[in-house]
Amino acid sequence: MEFLSPSANPKLTTEVIDPKRRLLLIYTWLGIILTAIYLIASKKPISIGIFPDTIAVNSWQQVKIKYLSQYKYKSPITDKFEIVESRKDYSYFKNGQKLAVQMRYVVNTRGQSNPFVYQLSKNLVKDSQNNIRQLKEVGYYTLYNDSKQAYITACINPRGGSTVTSSQFMKNQYKYDLS
């Protein structure tokens, strides 16, 4: 073993980095930094105004609109918390009948079965899974009912058609969002 004494002057050597390699390192770090900035900046919060104040429903008169605040709920399917960023309830009236439209913007899901159905009854869950239908150029939806009401449910995607199942949602996402 050889130790250097305090009076010894070790010979320092420096290596020169090849200009091409230096340029590659600069571009790599610049790409990483710009990607991080983009990802941080693109996560803008959703405003309450994501849904319009009026949704035209043929020959129905809109009588009420209810703004609801953001909330988290625990999914009965995944046991994970999901966030409802924005939600509005619309009420319509026609010939003595009432129509309620509930719009929800839910994030951090993979298009699982509708979590709102689970709040109603387990029989409706089975009924909804057996009644999936498709409308050309619109997408999938499901119909179900109990003794009091009829329901129609779909996940309305920003691109592509509406979906009902997780596999439909993922196919739509791969086709329009990840390609």
Residue 71's contacts (CB-CB under 8 Å, 6 or more residues apart) are 83, 84
pLDDT of residue 94: 93
Question: Is 34 domain-assigned?
Answer: no
With bands split at pLDDT 50, 70 and 90, how would you rate the model's confidence at 49?
low
Q: Which domain holds residue 96?
A: 49-176
**Domains in the chain, number:** 1
Distance CA 130, CA 116 (A): 17
Q: DSSP code of 17? A: P
The pairing of strands 81-94 and 71-74 is antiparallel
**How far apart are alpha carbons 126 and 29 in whole angstroms?**
52
Tokens for 28, please give them: 């790599």
Q: How far apart are the first and last CA of the chain?
A: 60
Query: What DSSP character marks residue 15?
Result: P
- In a domain, residue 27? The reply is no
Query: Are 85 and 46 within 8 A, CB to CB?
Result: yes
Q: Could you tell me if residue 53 is inside a domain?
A: yes
Q: What is the pLDDT of residues 58-75, one digit of tens each?
A: 899 999 988 877 777 766
Please check whether residue 65 lies inside any domain of the structure: yes
Give domain status of residue 81, yes or no: yes
Specify which residues 149 forms β-bridges with.
Answer: none
Per DSSP bridges, beta strands 61-68 and 81-94 are antiparallel
Higher pLDDT, 70 or 7: 70
In a domain, 7, yes or no: no
